[in-house]
Amino acid sequence: MLDVRERLLGSEPAEGCRCVHSFDGERLVVDAGDCPGGGLLAAEQHCRETVVEALRERDATVVSVETTGVERLYEGVSAAFLTAAGRFVERVAVHDERLAARAGQDPLGAAREATGRVDAVSDIAAETGLAELAAQVDGYERALTACEGPTVSRWRVEPTPPPTELCAARELETGGTVRRYGRDGPDRYQLTPTESGLGAEALSVLAAAYEQLAAGNIEGDDRAPARAVRAAVANRSGGGELPVERIARALAKHTRGHGVLSDLFADPAVSDVFVTAPATDNRVRVTVDDEMLVTNVRPTERAIEGLASRFRRESGRAFSRADPTLDATATVADRRVRVAGVTDPTSSGTAFAFRAQDRDIRTLPALVENGTLTPETAALLSLSVERGRALLVVGPRGAGKTTLLGALLWELPPAVRTVVIEDTPELPVGPLQEAGRDVQALLAGEAGAELSPAEALRTALRLGDGALAVGEVRGEEAGVLYEAMRVGANSEAVLGTIHGDGGKAVFERVVSDLGVPASSFGVTDLLVTLEHAPGGRRVRLVEEVVGDEPRFGALFERTGEGLAPTGRVARGNSRLVASLATPEESYATVRDRLDRRTRLLETLATRGETGGEQVTAAYARR
């Protein structure tokens, strides 16, 4: 295709650009592998001119530039700006050949010149959208911002930071860096993966190593990426040192791992990652310290397809148009992550929500240490679980219900057998077993050979007397659970989580929505309601169930001073505390035990002795 200046002015094609382009639907694909300008549209005017010329007679919603193992995607405003420049060149050429030639290389300058005129040129700049788009940006770094990534990656990262203040920065274990920008506008989470700093030769080796794996020339286990990189290095023609280990880590991340998702979860401050449909049109969002932030990361269609395929394979659960929801767990960057997915026709494309479980084992002393619980509240929960009461942990999604339930399991006497029922493994079954506890896990769900929740509960009741923990009470299993509690089928504590906001809301849900008789609900002894708060997750309310109606009596509630006792226990009016007494004990004796338990939990929290085995050992000495 002739260069715009050759067509308009009769000159030779522009020196310095050897980009080759083609169209794939609404996508303009530019191969800049042999171009000395590298297809850098923001910096190289001749490459920019080639793209604008290509867009003279055909629009594109995406401009993809590939060079030296890297793909840059110009989308959104950037693609619209280039397309508007192409339209402007095509239409303005008959009015002003010089301005048309300028617009190919310098559309921003041409737009400013055109809008200052009072003839047809000004109208064309407005009608093509070039004038409006040029007015929105300051320079080509902003006008032509690209999301980029190695061709081996299925993720694209926008490298240009936002025009706001840098607030914080930290290095990741993966070798990448995260920076937080804000102050003058919404905070932005800016990720720089380790491969973003690789030079052209290293990226070329990375691409060659990927081809070795894709062709099946390198087989084996997780060490195959390193062998592929070494083979690619041995075959290169250039010299000089290369960061071989760094290249191998990048290749492993994108072929054996979860791509840039691994970088996001390598940040210990990130608790959630959200991929919103349509995924390629939306930046990934993360939750950092309970605050939602927009990142500079976007998945490609291949990334979404790859994640869906991987989670189907690892979980053994269907995920398709016929079964458009997914609930599974995965290990990402050495963190256990819960995966929730939706796809067509439930959603306009595939979307994911990822939530990381705590790296550390959470016990009641640990929750006292981080301010989720007060020592007095923790003592009441501890003694209630130890003495076999029925307790529900209540709250919205993400409030920490599973974390608190896992902490309560450490309060069961070590000799007590426990059966744990979950649809997705999140409770600390492994650590409890490693600490010598007798814990049997059952998976309940609708996929594969798993039991339904109700069947799992019936199975649990046949596995021997002991404690029972239900990951989430939300369906037909509620009736089975409350019947078991009512007839005393379990000899120890019954623990569970449920969505709700306080006793009255939970009662309404259990009775009206889940079909449990109101009289059966009365066997619940205690409800602990959690909430989100600016400083993190915390307990808002602790209530006991009183009477058969039932009624709810607050034992602890949050005030302006924090989580405080209501005085019900101190006045001797607590039905729960009275029920905790053995035949040899009085109400006052139980209160003394609660005081001693409070001091123990406070001491463990103060000393930092909050691990599962530390707590178990401390309880054995009391």
Stretch among 3-7, 76-80, 197-201 having the lowest mean pLDDT: 3-7
User: Does residue 357 or residue 251 have the better pLDDT?
Assistant: 251
The answer, yes or no, to whether residue 10 has pLDDT greater than 60, is: no
Count Cβ atoms within 10 A of the Cβ of residue 129 and give its class: 0-12 exposed, 13-18 middle, 19 or more buried: middle
| pLDDT at residue 450, rounded to an integer | 60
Q: Exposure string (b/e) for 278-316, b if CB count within 10 Å is 16 or more?
A: ebbebbbbbbbeeeebbbbbbbbeebbebbbeebbeebe
| pLDDT at residue 15, rounded to an integer | 61
Q: Exposure string (b/e) for 243-255, b if CB count within 10 Å is 16 or more?
A: beebbbbbbbbbb
| pLDDT at residue 86, rounded to an integer | 97
Contact 515, 504 (CB under 8 A): no
SS3 label, residue 486:
helix
For residues 234 and 265, give the distance between their C-alpha atoms in angstroms, rounded to a whole number.
33
pTM over 0.75: no
For residues 120 and 462, give the distance between their C-alpha atoms in angstroms, rounded to a whole number.
85
The answer, yes or no, to whether residue 491 has pLDDT greater than 90, is: no
For residues 611 and 618, give the distance between their C-alpha atoms in angstroms, rounded to a whole number.
10
For residues 612 and 238, give the distance between their C-alpha atoms in angstroms, rounded to a whole number.
54
Span 209-223, average pLDDT: 81
**pLDDT band of 130, cuts 50, 70, 90:** very high
| pLDDT at residue 1, rounded to an integer | 32
The answer, yes or no, to whether residue 13 has pLDDT greater than 60, is: no
Stretch among 59-63, 420-424, 479-483 having the lowest mean pLDDT: 479-483
Stretch among 184-193, 413-422, 484-493, 596-605 having the lowest mean pLDDT: 484-493
Q: Exposure string (b/e) for 387-420, b if CB count within 10 Å is 16 or more?
A: bbbbbbbbbeebbbbbbbbbbbbbbbeeebbbbb
* Tens-digit pLDDT profile for residues 433-480: 988 899 988 877 644 446 676 777 777 777 767 888 888 887 777 877
* Tens-digit pLDDT profile for residues 14-64: 567 999 999 999 999 999 999 999 999 999 999 999 999 999 989 999 999
What is the rounded average pLDDT for all residues in the chain? 88
Of 374-383, 398-407, 558-567, highest mean pLDDT: 374-383
| pLDDT at residue 239, rounded to an integer | 65
Contact 141, 42 (CB under 8 A): yes
Q: What's the angle, vertex CA 470, arms to CA 468 and CA 471, rounded to 5?
A: 140
**pLDDT band of 147, cuts 50, 70, 90:** very high
For residues 36 and 200, give the distance between their C-alpha atoms in angstroms, rounded to a whole number.
12
| pLDDT at residue 445, rounded to an integer | 64
Span 67-86, average pLDDT: 93
| pLDDT at residue 196, rounded to an integer | 87
Stretch among 98-112, 119-133, 340-354, 358-372 having the lowest mean pLDDT: 358-372
The answer, yes or no, to whether residue 7 has pLDDT greater than 60, is: no
The answer, yes or no, to whether residue 405 has pLDDT greater than 90, is: yes
The answer, yes or no, to whether residue 585 has pLDDT greater than 80, is: yes
Count Cβ atoms within 10 A of the Cβ of residue 512 and give its class: 0-12 exposed, 13-18 middle, 19 or more buried: exposed
End-to-end CA distance of the chain: 85
User: Does residue 532 or residue 411 have the better pLDDT?
Assistant: 411
**Tokens matching residue 124:** 């064309």
For residues 423 and 472, give the distance between their C-alpha atoms in angstroms, rounded to a whole number.
8
* Tens-digit pLDDT profile for residues 498-545: 998 999 999 999 888 888 888 888 889 999 999 988 777 899 999 999
| pLDDT at residue 569, rounded to an integer | 96
Contact 531, 499 (CB under 8 A): no
Of 86-100, 171-185, 406-420, highest mean pLDDT: 86-100
Domains and CATH numbers, the chain: 4-145 (no CATH), 155-356 (3.30.450.380), 364-621 (3.40.50.300)
**Tokens matching residue 246:** 């760094």
